[in-house]
């Protein structure tokens, strides 16, 4: 019958070694990672040589490079809505005699894709949205 105190050769106790101190796992700052990845991007650089010089595994450097590529691509893939700039222009001054007698409600003028659209107060929002989308689609 075997005992837990038996070693593989059948006699005596096993030797147990306890390692203390810092573990093997290191943490790298973002600046250090960026420096290592930048070194691999230089002409003629080999990832394995850079990894050996920094005492890190090549797989880790490849992972950092992949993360850096994703970080560069992420903001570009997020589509931002395109808006039409609003330009406020003052209407031409009317003669004083006409201005006093006739008051017209102000309107909004929208210039989109070569089309000028004058929107009167009280225009239905759904209709205006449909017209603006149709103008934008026809320009594309």
Assess whether 137 and 86 both reside in one domain.
yes
Could you read off the pLDDT of 4-26 as tens digits, one per residue?
555 556 666 778 887 776 666 78
Task: Answer whether residue 14 is part of any domain.
Answer: no
Mean pLDDT taken over the chain: 77
CATH of residue 70's domain is 1.10.10
Give the range of the structural domain holding residue 114, as residue numbers without chain letter.
81-95+105-140
Assess whether 90 and 122 both reside in one domain.
yes
Flag whether pLDDT at 87 surpasses 60.
yes
CA 125 to chain centre: 33
B/e letters for 104-140, b = 16+ CB within 10 Å, e = fewer, are: eeeeeebeeeeeeeeeeeeeeeeeeeebbeebeeeee
Place of tokens 């992420």: 74
| pLDDT score of 64 | 92
Percentage of the chain with pLDDT > 70?
66
Could you read off the pLDDT of 104-126 as tens digits, one per residue?
667 888 887 777 888 888 888 88
Rounded Cα distance, 83 and 16, in Å? 70
Assess whether 44 and 89 both reside in one domain.
no
Instruction: Answer for the pair 50, 61: CB distance below 8 angstroms, yes or no.
Output: yes
| Structural domain count of the chain | 2
Assess whether 88 and 54 both reside in one domain.
no
Could you read off the pLDDT of 31-77 as tens digits, one per residue?
899 999 999 988 999 999 999 999 899 999 999 999 988 887 765 55
């Amino acid at each position: 019958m075997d005992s837990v105190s038996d070693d593989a050769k059948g006699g005596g106790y096993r030797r147990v070694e306890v390692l203390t101190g810092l573990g093997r796992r290191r943490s790298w700052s973002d600046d250090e990672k960026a420096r290592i990845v930048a070194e691999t991007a230089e002409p003629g650089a080999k990832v394995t040589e850079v990894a050996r010089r920094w005492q890190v595994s090549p797989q880790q450097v490849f992972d950092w490079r992949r993360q850096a590529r994703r970080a560069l691509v992420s903001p570009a893939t997020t589509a931002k809505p395109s808006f039409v700039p609003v330009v406020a222009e003052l209407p031409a001054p009317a003669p004083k005699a006409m201005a006093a007698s006739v008051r017209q409600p102000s309107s909004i003028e929208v210039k989109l894709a070569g089309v000028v659209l004058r929107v009167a107060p009280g225009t239905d929002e759904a209709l205006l949205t449909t017209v603006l989308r149709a103008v934008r689609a026809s320009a594309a």
